[in-house]
Amino acid sequence: MADRRRKVPRIGHLVGFVHLLAWASIAVFILFQVGWIFVSARWLKSVWLILGNAAMGTYLALLWTFVAITLAQHVEEWIRENSPWEDK
């Protein structure tokens, strides 16, 4: 007779999904920043203002990368500690 145990999700799948969400949010944020630089370049007539805007966008993208990855790692740790499922 076939083994009909209930399938439970693996912790690795859940953790992978959390990291995928983090990287997806980083990609969307960077695309938004690049788009904002090009849109604002039409309004800003000074090269220094455009470069400053690009520098600020880069800083914010790096900051969000750090926040998203750190948050994903904390969520991963919490999932591994509090999950009722075993990871095989």
State the pLDDT at residue 9: 62
Give alpha helix (H) positions in the chain. 11-43, 47-82
Q: Residue 80 — very low, low, confident or very high, per pLDDT cuts 50/70/90?
A: confident
Q: How confident is the model at residue 3 (pLDDT cuts 50, 70, 90)?
A: low
22 CB-contact burial (10 Å; exposed 0-12 / middle 13-18 / buried 19+): buried
Neighbours of 61 (CB within 10 A): 17
pLDDT in tens, 19-63: 888 888 888 888 888 888 777 777 777 788 878 888 888 888 888
pTM passes above 0.85? no
Q: What's the CA gap between 85 and 58, in Å, rounded?
A: 40
